[in-house]
Amino acid sequence: VREGGLGLLMSGGWESFGGTSIGLPWGNTAVGELLPTEDAGTWIESGYLVIDEENNEFISSIDWPNRRAVMYHNAVTARQGADMLAHVEGSNYENHPAMVTWRLVNGARTFSFTGEPNTHALGDAWAGIGWEYQNMIDMGSNLMLYVDGRPVPQDIALVHRVRSMIQDVATRKTLLLSLVDFVESFGANTRVITDEIDRFDLAVSRAEPVYLELRFHDSLKMYEEAGQILERAEEKAMAAKDRALLWIYAIEWLTVAGTTLITGAAVWNLMIRRKMYKEARVTRLTAL
């Protein structure tokens, strides 16, 4: 962190900050010296999260719950010069730091998130008041961007659209490859389909770095174009599947029809015309 300028995040838990009986405190370590908080040495399973800096780019990027949630957290104190973005209040205490950050001399950002950013400290309470799982993903990814010193996206709806598009085309490609394998098992020529898949892969490889650069409008457009290429490949795969199955259906129909004709002719000759039967001679019982 000091030498390379990387960001540092410490989140809450039994083995974080001041620790508990399970873990030793971090305050006197090289890591603890970089944090914007000092350990108070205890873990509290109560309290309510209160946002302090609503205009902070990380805080403003998240659709926080409209009700204050229970906040399990480590007790710490904010160092002088640090920015406290949120705190925790309880029935017998107030102003426990919840989210604290500052920048080191070399420009690296360190961040103390005194609660556990998972379902144990946040998810159970927030899920009960309608905080969706997607918001947990937003919080985690945006927090990483903020700690890394990169711009935090504010248009969450746009980010969701891009992520949904990325997941959609990835799922569709997986299904398409399964369909191609199925078609090839019948000996069909899938060259035109695989050519489209190659073009799709090329389009995605160009879109991925644009997404990682946080150019969401551009990346959305590029993923939509990749989706159109994939749609053409899907149409060609379905057509190849229909052609392959047409021959199977035709062969099955001819087989069943031929078997029916042969069986019908045999039944007609044997059971109705009785062509294979010969008339028996009349016999009489005579006395010896």
> pLDDT tens-digit profile of 229-250?
999 999 999 999 888 888 778 8
The pLDDT > 90 percentage for the chain reads: 45
Mean pLDDT of 112-127: 64
pLDDT for residue 26:
84
Of 4-8, 105-109, 110-114, 277-281, the range with the lowest mean pLDDT is 277-281
The answer to whether residue 200 sits within a structural domain is yes
Confidence of residue 127 (pLDDT cuts 50, 70, 90): very low
Examine the domain organization and report whether 195 and 230 are in the same domain: yes
Given a contact cutoff of 8 angstroms between Cβ atoms, the answer to whether 113 and 119 are in contact is no
The answer to whether residue 278 sits within a structural domain is no
The CA-atom distances, in angstroms, between 118 and each of 90, 125, 137 are 20, 11, 10
The amino acid present at 52, given as its one-letter code, is: D
The answer to whether residue 54 sits within a structural domain is yes
Q: Phi, psi (5° rounding) for residue 186?
A: -100, 10
How far apart CA 272 and CA 48 sit, in angstroms, is 92
CB contact set of 81 (below 8 Å; sequence gap of 6+) = 102
pLDDT for residue 280:
63
Number of C-beta neighbours around residue 28 at 10 A: 10
Q: Is the pTM of this model over 0.75?
A: no
* Residues 60-81 pLDDT 10s: 998 776 545 667 888 899 999 9
| Domain's final residue, options 129, 147, 165 | 147
The answer to whether residue 288 sits within a structural domain is no
Mean pLDDT of 281-288: 64
Tokens representing 164?
């949904």
| Domain's final residue, options 147, 181, 204 | 147
The answer to whether residue 115 sits within a structural domain is yes
Query: Domains in the chain: how many in total?
Result: 2
Identify the CA nearest to 103 among candidates 94, 95, 111.
111
Q: Flag whether pLDDT at 211 surpasses 90.
A: yes
The answer to whether residue 57 sits within a structural domain is yes
Of 64-73, 153-162, 197-206, the range with the lowest mean pLDDT is 64-73
Examine the domain organization and report whether 196 and 98 are in the same domain: no
Examine the domain organization and report whether 40 and 93 are in the same domain: yes
Given a contact cutoff of 8 angstroms between Cβ atoms, the answer to whether 37 and 112 are in contact is yes
Q: Find the CATH number of the domain harbouring 68.
A: 3.40.50.880
Examine the domain organization and report whether 15 and 105 are in the same domain: yes
The partner residues of 8 in beta bridges, in order of sequence, read 110
Confidence of residue 128 (pLDDT cuts 50, 70, 90): very low
The answer to whether residue 196 sits within a structural domain is yes
Q: Flag whether pLDDT at 23 surpasses 80.
A: no
Helix, strand or coil, per DSSP, at residue 96:
strand
Structural domain boundaries, residue 244: 156-249
Helices (H), the chain: 30-34, 57-60, 124-128, 133-147, 156-184, 191-212, 216-267
The answer to whether residue 87 sits within a structural domain is yes
